Amino acid sequence: MFGFDKGSKVTASVGAALHHQLYSAMKEDEIMTNERLLSLFTNGYISVFALFVYDLEGLNAQKIFEKNFRKMLDGVLPNRLDELFIKQNEMRKLAESMEDKSLYPEMYSGNQDPKYFTDAQLAAKEDAKLFVETGDVASATGWYNYLTGKGVYSDV
């Protein structure tokens, strides 16, 4: 019998959950969503959500993420999200390595504030748990809330 392996099925479900949040956010407020896509929150949320779902499903999270993340992100937002993710990850690493943070304050303010990366990781873990428990793409809402400025993200 032919079919997808568990890793492929889980990757597709992670992509579906991320796509649901992004699509819903774009429908609600496309301008804000596009601005907030370029944030450390987006970077932190996507990576931790995927890694944590893989882990909760009993898979080798890091290996599957590294193998599939570009394909998964391209399925969420074709020809754009994987590029944004990689650029944000490089910017985050550069900012972390800088000794004198006063030289480039824009790298540490607004939606580039490192606290949003940490906030995203916490939200992603909670969403991943709920998503794995329910199997419902609509159960994961942390990224959507950030992208649309809902709740604790209204003042970003």
pLDDT at 10: 94
Check if the beta carbon of residue 20 is closer than 8 Å to that of residue 138. yes
| 100-135: pLDDT as tens digits | 666 655 555 556 677 788 899 999 999 999 999 999
Burial of 119 (C-beta count, 10 Å sphere; 0-12/13-18/19+): buried
Report helix, strand and coil shares of the chain as percent, to nearest 5. 80, 0, 20
Residue 150 has pLDDT above 80, yes or no: yes
In tens, the pLDDT along 75-94 reads 888 888 878 878 777 777 77
Exposure on the CB side of residue 58, measured as CA atoms within 13 A: 1
Q: What is the pLDDT of residues 5-62, one digit of tens each?
A: 898 899 999 999 999 999 999 999 999 999 898 888 998 999 999 999 999 999 999 9
In whole numbers, what is the pLDDT of the chain averaged over residues? 86
Give the global pTM. Answer: 0.85
Please name which of 52, 49, 25 lies closest in space to residue 153, comparing C-alpha atoms: 25
